[in-house]
Amino acid sequence: MRLTGFIALTEAFLRPTTTSWWSDTEDVVPVDDHIKQLDYSADDLRRHAIAKIYLANTSHCNNWDLVDASAHKILGEHLIRFHVADLASFVLAGPTAEAIDLLPAWYQRLLRSNDLWETRISIVLLLKLLPTEHYHVAYAVCLYHINKFHADPLLRCTIRGVPFESLDLIHKALGWVLREAGKHDPARLTQFLHEHASKAFKTTVRYATEHMTRPKAKRFLDVAQRGVGGSVVVVAPLLEE
């Protein structure tokens, strides 16, 4: 399953009634019994089945363009359609390892995965939350990942079980989500960076601050961390505006 397959899944998830990709999603994968017992429409039952297909095939979503074209449209939408209570509980608990237990099991798995593409999926899907009341979840998940890599500078993601040295695609994804979040509430992004830029890698901060003035962006970049031979170096303290 490559680009065409993920386009098909996205089309079927967004428009389950009118999609022509297959006549009945349950012919492809059955909906879990406990989902059937809930008061969902036929379209939403199909959406559950499609999300299940997507999650079963993350090993094939193995390029940044596949992730970026589909994760937020399927899994991000799935979160805000079917897991609102879980999102609220997670935000109240804070971005800790324990708080991850409050999220749906499939998202817990993505967040705890060391796989490079599943980690990027767990971040990119947040784009769907940004225009909604659940945007706080995006900041909390980004901080969870920032804290994880800050706590263990030698931590690396894997591709097919093999450690992959570069975390560039992860740091870029974090910065991308933060930058997009800042379009909705610039003050909230500024506050987040004041509090956490010193733990983030420069790539994340560079992407997050693209729409800030150069002097303001530089102050955050000056305190961000940079990789040096597998370790990180913390530079000058943050200057207040």
Cα separation, 25 vs 47, whole angstroms: 9
CB 103 within 8 A of CB 97: no
pLDDT digits (tens, 9 = 90+) for 185-241: 999 999 999 999 999 999 999 999 999 999 999 999 999 998 643 434 333 333 333
Indicate the number of domains in the chain. 1
- Structure confidence at residue 28 (pLDDT): 52
C-alpha distances (whole Å) from 48 to each of 25, 81, 193, 207, 210 are 10, 10, 36, 33, 36
75 domain residue, yes or no: yes
> 229 lies in a domain?
yes
pTM: 0.86
Q: Cα–chain-centroid distance for residue 136?
A: 13
What domain range is 124 assigned to?
57-234
Residue 35 placed within a domain: no
Average pLDDT of span 125-129:
99
- pLDDT range class, residue 129, cuts 50, 70, 90: very high
21, part of any domain: no
The pLDDT of residue 240: 33
pLDDT digits (tens, 9 = 90+) for 10-27: 988 888 876 555 555 455
In a domain, 78, yes or no: yes
pLDDT digits (tens, 9 = 90+) for 41-64: 888 988 999 999 999 999 999 999
For residue 206, being part of any structural domain is answered with: yes
